Amino acid sequence: MSTEEFLQANEQYAANFNKPDRSLFKNMIIVTCMDPRLNPYEQLGLKFGEAIHIRNAGGSAKEALRSIMVAQHFIGVNGTISIFHHKDCGMSRVTTSQMRDLVKKATPGRDDVAAEVDTIDFHHIVHIEGSVKADVKFLTESPLVLKGTKITGWVYDVDTGKISKVDEAIAVGA
């Protein structure tokens, strides 16, 4: 998409814009991968404005924690946090050490880059159900998540469009 295409598409969008009513918000947080095949609004029957949607590579709960804290402690969301990982995820095909090597190869001789990227855990997914359960456990046990928050863990199948629930727990909080 060129700048011009963005501007043209947005002009049409804004011409028919329906500002979402704040009352639509269903007090929930969804965490998914950034994979373009994922559209949780469509896949979960949600409307624009009904959920807070956090995206990152793999749908990592650890990486989403900063946004979850803002949603809970600043915005006041206390509803369910649903974690979705998906089949055929890129994060199941690249390990943390491979990711670090890719970044280092792109910046040869830069010790500062190497040192910084070596501190980053890219949250490689070894086993999808296992990674969902580990993320549910992480949020359940995190002292930074509100006590009593319901956490659910799901797998989305990119081949069938179907979701399956693999875990559910209540956060123990601080």
52 versus 91: smaller Cβ distance to Zn ion: 91
Compute, in degrees rounded to 10, the torsion defined by CA atoms 99, 101, 107, 113.
70
33 annotated as a binding-site residue:
yes
Measured in degrees and rounded to the nearest 5, phi and psi for residue 168 equal -155, 140
- With CB under 5 A as the contact rule, the residue among 33, 64, 71, 155 that binds Zn ion is 33
94 versus 144: smaller Cβ distance to Zn ion: 94
Strand pairing category for 150-156 and 163-170: antiparallel
Q: What is the DSSP letter of 52?
A: E
Region binding Zn ion by CB under 5 A among candidate stretches 32-40, 66-74, 118-126, 159-167: 32-40
Residues in binding contact with Zn ion, number by CB under 5 A: 3
Handedness of CA 31, 1, 12, 4 (dihedral sign): positive
CB of 53 to Zn ion, least distance (A): 14
Residues 60-99 that bind Zn ion (CB under 5 A): 89
Residues 35-64 that bind Zn ion (CB under 5 A): 35
Per CB under 5 A, residues contacting Zn ion are 33, 35, 89
The binding site for Zn(2+) comprises 33, 35, 86, 89
